[in-house]
Structure 1
Amino acid sequence: MKKVIHCRDVGFDCDGIITARTEEEALTLAAEHANKVHGVTKVTPEIASKIKSVMRDE
């Protein structure tokens, strides 16, 4: 089952969608996206928690 994160659900005005095979991979891809697209240089525990809370199974 794939893991899916909609960037907009995390709180950004962004249509980005991240899909991955595992939660760990999804978090890594989300951090890379946040850095490249939104300039987020550090994923804090609060941001990671928010990302996990909106992550869905597909």
Structure 2
Amino acid sequence: MEKLIRCRDVGFDCEGVIKAKTETEVLNLASEHAKIVHGLQEITPEIITKIKSVIVDLPEGKTS
């Protein structure tokens, strides 16, 4: 089941949507997005916890 994170759900004013096949992949992509787009220098354990709390499982064939 594909994983999805909406950047807005993490607390940013951002329309970014990140999808990946696994939780690890989506967390890595979200961390890179936060660094590049939002200028975060460090992804703290608190940020990881917040990101994990908003991950959505997409049913097969669903795109958003």
TM range (shorter): over 0.9
With the length of structure 1 as denominator, give the TM-score of the two structures.
0.98
Q: Between Structure 1 and Structure 2, which shows a larger proportion of helix residues?
A: 1
Structure 2 unpaired stretches of 5+: 59-64
The code of the aligned residue for 2:10 comes to V
What is the RMSD computed on CA atoms of the aligned residues?
0.4
Which aligned segments of 4 or more residues in structure 1 are displaced greater than 3 angstroms? Answer: none
Q: After superposition, where does 1:2-17 map in structure 2 within 5 Å?
A: 2-17=2-17
Structure with bigger gyration radius: 2
Residues paired across the two proteins, number: 58
Aligned partners of 2:48 and 2:35: how far apart in 1? 13
Partner of 1:38: 38
With the length of structure 2 as denominator, give the TM-score of the two structures.
0.89
Structure 1 unpaired stretches of 5+: none
